[in-house]
Structure 1
């Protein structure tokens, strides 16, 4: 799996690329993406400063941050972070924020260098939707976002520290959590045990969609969650994009709690046809598309490099 297209929707809004000289689109339906190209005459902070001067910008409800430097893997993220923090008074309605809408043609996901985003989260406590792409040097700190409904973190490899920051977060209204855990080959240091705080459901009582995916520990994760109390509140369990085999699938198949879900997503897996048939017979919607060669000893996550 590669990320080859920029976001077209996020947080319930249409996403539109913005360039200097363009007016604001309808802030009720559209949020803007600000990014630089490799041959851009303006840097990201200059573009953002021009954006903030637009009439009506205080009505902006969301922002998508694309490529913020043309210096590839070594670019400094701090000017972008500082600019976002400084702008919080000019963007009082900001509810949806995605940092790192970068495609593989611009920078592979495993090369994206993030940073300490905790000042940004502190500056916008009213966020309802937050997305982050890229795990290198990523830190979220102590997360307290009382209105957040959706959190997505995409990486070829997430550190154990980031996973623990998420599972310790204060997000009482969180309904959708999606973690791309990744592989050690691309910087992952997380283990299945780092997800333990999610098992009993008390951490995020409003959670309806849980995606713990894209992991080289997908079997162990499936076994952990197959009988976990959190499934009693979930509508969707997403264990896709990782190295799931019959071993993990069997635990899901034998679980009564799994049968209470509306949907189980297992796309990109290493299960046999026989196991897929058994999963399809469950009384819920099960997606086992994109099967990989289960006889191949080399098993890989879908989003690595």
Structure 2
């Protein structure tokens, strides 16, 4: 078991901003370079909503361009009205549930219908979400959104289809932790079909379809998909990638323009690793193929499940 691969911490930077923890009484940081993470303690006296109220009273709060929602304990945070005082006119960067594995396993994190929250911020450019339980993103439309990252131990087929159907004309970076069936994953490779011709998100330059127990099938459909021609970065890491998927990538016809290919955490033998390294060197592509898992293991798993 690769325990460290299953660990995750709080976000240090997001959307081009340094993320700083904020506690009541602290001054706010530089709105041009920093955003704040608000979180509570499991047994703390103050609710997350109360902490948010104090944060919004600080001088300069309306000028802060982002917000990171950390651990919120037992608050009914996700049922909050998106049209409430949380809305800040300049907010462009939002990360929901930036909760570390020490605070909660990712499979325990609860979400809700987040489309209204995303729509409440007209200038949103970066949206990060952690946790797949109860997550809903139907009819998502965000005219300015450039980055969407959803981290989970398992995303349902319906959730993947909702993302594939979203209206995001400026999307440049899409990263989905698809996960494993044991923790709620239900998507199949065909659920990604709307993405493949490159028309759904024409400005997409970085794509991560990762942490999947059907990573081989994803590699196979992407290997010759037109969307790859427009990509600079392709991330197929953290999943159950074996010889079958790696060979499909080597045989692919559209991967030569990639600047970066991430396949760290994989189940490949030394020979295939060497072949991929030779391919990347010949193409001039940066390759991350670290964290090789044991070929003798009968049970193969994704890096982030529970």
TM-score w.r.t. length of structure 2: 0.94
Q: Are 2:194 and 1:190 aligned?
A: no
What's the offset of the Cα at 1:263? 1.5
What's the offset of the Cα at 1:3? 3.7
2 CA distance for matches of 1:266 and 1:222? Answer: 10
The CA deviation string for residues 19-77 of structure 1, in whole angstroms up to 9 with x for no partner, is 111221111111010110012111000110111111221101000000112x3xxx634
1 CA distance for matches of 2:90 and 2:6? Answer: 33
Contact 1:264 1:286 in 2 (8 A): yes
Within 5 A, what are the aligned runs for 1:216-255? 216-255=213-252
Runs of 4+ aligned residues of structure 1 deviating over 4 Å after TM superposition are none
1 CA distance for matches of 2:85 and 2:177? Answer: 29
Pick the aligned partner of 2:135 from 138, 151, 159: 138
Deviates more, 1:119-128 or 1:204-213: 119-128
In structure 1, stretches of 5+ residues that fail to align are none
Q: Are 2:12 and 1:8 aligned?
A: yes
Query: Number of residue pairs matched?
Result: 298
Q: 1:201 to 1:61 in 2, by over 3 A?
A: same
Deviates more, 1:213-222 or 1:115-124: 115-124
Match of 2:105 in 1: 108
Superposed CA RMSD in Å reads 1.3
2 CA distance for matches of 1:33 and 1:294? Answer: 40
In structure 2, stretches of 5+ residues that fail to align are none
Contact 1:77 1:113 in 2 (8 A): no
What's the offset of the Cα at 1:88? 5.1
TM-score w.r.t. length of structure 1: 0.95
Pick the aligned partner of 1:61 from 53, 62, 65: 65
Instruction: Give the 3-state SS of the residue equivalent to 2:268 in structure 1.
Output: coil
